[in-house]
Amino acid sequence: MNFFEATIISVVEGLTEFLPISSTGHMILTSSLLKLHNDEFLKTFEIAIQQGAISAIVFLYARKFLRNITLYKKLLVAFIPAAVIGFVAYKTIKAYLFNPLVVSVALIVGGILLILLDKKIAHTAKKNTNLEDISYKNAFCIGLFQSIAVIPGVSRAAASIIGGIFNGFDKKQATEFSFLLAIPTMFAASGYDLLKTPVIVAQHEIMLLSFGSLIAFISAWIAVKLFLRLLENHGFAIFGYYRIILGFLFIKFCIY
């Protein structure tokens, strides 16, 4: 991997990690188009840049975290389902679900659901004034939705946002809760991946890891800001249509 390839992958990771369009699907498609070998360093690189992306959320929402202990507890409750399912089914998921057909179907089905979600929002009243007002039961339900994202292509962001809408949040609240829920979920998932992935890197590869993490951080920061604006102006349907198009691109470039 060279610095150009590292830049492309890191930008894709940062831009897609917190949008409901499946960062995993984008990473697989990008690696395929760049003709990168799925070796141990590529796996390590993808894990490292995820940490860079999640750091952007930590910085952006640090003030909200520092002033609200209750929110920590409810995020922890929401995190539990994905943690349990991910731990128990890790080997099965990696062995049988990480393939282009599963990703393609998940992208298309998820896209249709996002288009339908806009209609759901139009007829649903907000039940919570603030993020921390959500009940522990509803937080756990959002976690159950998020756990569906163990299927590659579903998108952790899409699953948790849909869960938030169905559990009393408006679209902005559901999106911000999804951002915050990403912190424990992604740190745990990437940490577990690191334990399962042999990490042997040369000196120049350490530079690539650091560079990629920085690019992913900057890209994620920009993506989160733009996402909230797009959400207010266009809702979720635009992301649904994008997912459907991407799903068919997946079929074209990664299956045939």
Separation CA 103–CA 154 (nearest Å)? 7
- Mapped onto helix, strand or coil, the DSSP state of residue 155 is coil
Separation CA 231–CA 236 (nearest Å)? 6
Q: Which of 22-31, 92-101, 131-140, 224-233 has the lowest mean pLDDT?
A: 92-101
The amino acid present at 144, given as its one-letter code, is: L
Q: Give 1's pLDDT tier (boundaries 50, 70, 90).
A: confident
Separation CA 56–CA 59 (nearest Å)? 5
pLDDT at res. 128: 66
Within 8 A by CB and 6+ apart from 188, the residues are 79, 83, 86
Residue 256 has pLDDT above 80, yes or no: no
pLDDT at res. 231: 85
pLDDT at res. 122: 60
Residues present in the chain in total: 256
Residue 166 has pLDDT above 80, yes or no: yes
Residue 94, CA atoms < 13 Å, CB-side half-sphere: 12
pLDDT at res. 159: 92
pLDDT at res. 137: 93
Residue 62 has pLDDT above 70, yes or no: yes
pTM to 2 decimal places: 0.87
Averaged over 172-199, what is the pLDDT?
A: 81
Residue 200 has pLDDT above 70, yes or no: no
Residue 123 has pLDDT above 80, yes or no: no
Averaged over 215-219, what is the pLDDT?
A: 95
- What pLDDT digit, counting tens, does each position of 15-49 carry? 998 999 888 888 888 887 888 877 777 778 888 88
Q: Give 61's pLDDT tier (boundaries 50, 70, 90).
A: confident
Query: What does pLDDT average to over the chain?
Result: 85
Tell me which range, 5-9, 95-99, 203-207, 231-235, is most confidently predicted by mean pLDDT: 5-9
